[in-house]
Structure 1
Amino acid sequence: MLAIIGGSGLYSLEGLELIQEHDTDTPFGKTSAPVVEGKLHGQRILFLSRHGSGHARLPHEVNYRANIFALKALGATHVLGVSAVGSLRMELPPGALVVPNQYFDHTRGLRARSFFGEGVAGHVSTAEPVCGNLVADLVAAAKRAGVELHTNKTYGCVEGPRLGTQAESFFLRNAAACDLVGMTNVPEVFLAREAQLSYCTLCLVTDYDCWLDDPEQHVSVEKFMETYAGTLAQGLKVIAELVQAPMQERSESARNALAMAVMTPNDALSAEQLQWLNVLRG
C-alpha cells in the first residue's frame, strides 16, 4: 500500500475518501497528525501531514520515527514524501518537479535519526537510499500526466528553521555537490530504509535559495507562497497518475534492508524491543 507524506502546504489530499483516521501512538511517540486511511481514485492509500494540523511543527520538531513506524505498522509498503525545496542549479527553476536519488545530511543532530540504539544495534546501508522501482513508477506517472520530472539529483538537508546564509548555500552547491536544499527529508528517507519501505521524494522547487547575486531571486516565505500553489498542482497530477496504475514491488535493497543489518541477537532483546523490531522487519 502507498503512503503519502504531505509537506509544507499539503495538509490533506483533495478527493481522498475517508475510511478511517488512526490517532497512532508508537513506541517512539506520537505521529505529527492522525494517519488518514482512505481511497484516492479508487485506490486505498495512507496520508500523513508531516508538519501536523495548522503546520504546528518545525522541521526539527517532527517526530520522524513515529511517522515512519506508524505508516509501516498500518500496512504501508511504499512511501512518497512531498517536499518544498530550494534550487541550487539554474536548470532547476522555480516550478520544477524533482525526484532526488541521493541525500546529504547537513543537519545538526537535533533529530532522532535512527530506530536503533538503546540496546538494539543495527547498521543499514544507505548507499542508494531511494527505491529505484518507485522512482521508475513516478517517472512513468509524470510522463502520462504530461509533467516534466527531473531525476538523479542530490538533496541537501539543513536543520532550519531559519533560511540559510549565502555561504551555506555555496557550500551545499559547490563542496557537497547538492542540487536541492530542504529541511525535512533527513532522517525520513533513512528511517524508511530501516523500516524496509520503498521510499522516494517528490520535490517541488519554489525558489533559487540564496546563491544567486540577484537578491530578488533569494528565498523568502513570500516567494515560496507565490510559487508553491502552481507547483503543487502539477505534483498532484503526477500523484493521481501514480495511484491509478499498478506499482512495482519494493526493490531488493529496500525489501531486505534489515536482513544482515541487526547485530543484536533476538534473545538479547526485551519483549518490547523485539515487538517493534518485528514490525520493521515485516
Structure 2
Amino acid sequence: MLAIIGGTGLYDLPGLQVTERLSGDTPFGAPSGDIVRGRLHAHELLFIARHGAGHRLLPHEVNYRANVFALKRAGATRLLGFSAVGSLALEVAPGALAMPEQYVDWTRGSRERTFFGGGVAAHVSTARPVSAGLVAAVQAAAQRAGTAVARGLTYACVEGPRLGTQAESHLLRQLGCHLVGMTNVPEVFLAREAQLAYATVGLVTDYDCWLEDPAQHVSVGAIFERYGQTLATARRVLDELLRAPLPEPEAESRQALASALLTPDAALDEAQRAWLSVLRA
C-alpha cells in the first residue's frame, strides 16, 4: 500500500474516499496527526500531514519515528513524501519538481533518527536510500501530466527552522548538493529501517541564497507564493500516478533488516519484539 506524507500546503488529498481515520500513539510517541485511510482511483492509500493540522510543527518538532511507524503499522509498503525545497543548482529552477536520490545529513543531532538502540542493535544500509522504481513511476506520471521532474539529485537536510546563510548555501553546493530542505532526514532513513520503499517529490520554491542577487534569496513570503503554484502541478502528477499500477518495492527496501539486526530475538523483551515485528512485516 502507498502512504503519502504531505508537506507544506498538502494537508489533505482531494478526491480521497476516506474509509477510516487511525489515531493513537506508537511505541515512539504520537504522530503528527491522524492517519487517513481511503481510496483514490484504483488505489488504497494512507495519508498523514507531516506538520500536523494547521502546520503547527516545525521541522525539528516533527516526530518522524512515530509518523513512519504509524504508517507501517497501518499497512504501508511504499512511502511518497512531498516537501518544499530550495535549489542549489541553476538548472533546477524555482517552480520545478525535483526528486532527490541521495542525501547529506546536515542536521545537528537533536532529532530522533533511528528506531534502534536501547537494547536493540541494527545497522541498516542506506547506500541507495531511495526507491528508483517509485522515482521512475513519478517521472512517468509527470510526463503524462505534461510536466517534468528533475531526478538524480542530492538533497542536503539542514536543521532549521531558520533559513540558511549564504556561506552555508555555498558550502552545501561545494559538497555536491543540488537541493536543500529541512524535513527529509531522518524520514528517508527511518523508512529504510521500516522496510518501506521511499521517495520524495521536492517542490522547488527558490534558489536558497547562494546567488548574489538579493531578490533571488529565499524568504517565507516567496516560498508560499511559488509553492502554491507548484503544488497544483504536484497534485496533477500525483493524480496521474494513481491512475496506473505502482511498481513493486525493491528487495533492498523490503528486506533491509534481513542482515542488519545484530541483537538475537532471545535477548529482546516483549515490547521490543512487538514493535520490531511491525518493522519486519
Fold conserved between structures, TM > 0.5? yes
1:28-39 alignment to 2 at 5 Å? 28-39=28-39
SS of equivalent to 2:155:
strand
**TM-score, normalised by the number of residues in structure 2:** 0.99
Note the C-alpha offset of 1:24: 2.9
1:95-148 deviation per Cα after TM superposition (whole angstroms, max 9, x unaligned): 000111001000001100000000000000000000111111111111111111
Opposite residue 146 of structure 2, the aligned amino acid is G
Query: Match of 1:8?
Result: 8
1:29-51 deviation per Cα after TM superposition (whole angstroms, max 9, x unaligned): 11101011111224210110000
Opposite residue 58 of structure 2, the aligned amino acid is L
Query: Match of 1:83?
Result: 83
Distance 2:162 2:132 in 1: 32
SS of equivalent to 1:29:
coil
Opposite residue 49 of structure 1, the aligned amino acid is A
Distance 2:225 2:46 in 1: 28
User: Cα RMSD over matched residues?
Assistant: 0.7
SS of equivalent to 2:242:
helix
Opposite residue 192 of structure 2, the aligned amino acid is R
Note the C-alpha offset of 1:252: 1.4
Distance 1:145 1:257 in 2: 33
1:182-221 alignment to 2 at 5 Å? 182-221=181-220
Range with greater deviation from structure 2 (39-48 or 73-82): 39-48
Query: Match of 1:44?
Result: 44
Note the C-alpha offset of 1:62: 0.3
Distance 1:104 1:8 in 2: 21
Matched residue count: 281
Range with greater deviation from structure 2 (80-89 or 16-25): 16-25
Runs (5+) with no aligned partner, structure 1 = none
Query: Match of 1:163?
Result: 163
Report if the CA contact (8 A) 1:24-1:35 is conserved. no
Report if the CA contact (8 A) 1:137-1:242 is conserved. yes
Distance 2:244 2:237 in 1: 11
Opposite residue 240 of structure 1, the aligned amino acid is D
Query: Match of 1:137?
Result: 137
Opposite residue 254 of structure 1, the aligned amino acid is S
Opposite residue 142 of structure 2, the aligned amino acid is A
1:128-176 deviation per Cα after TM superposition (whole angstroms, max 9, x unaligned): 00011111111111111111110000000000000000011011111x1
Runs (5+) with no aligned partner, structure 2 = none
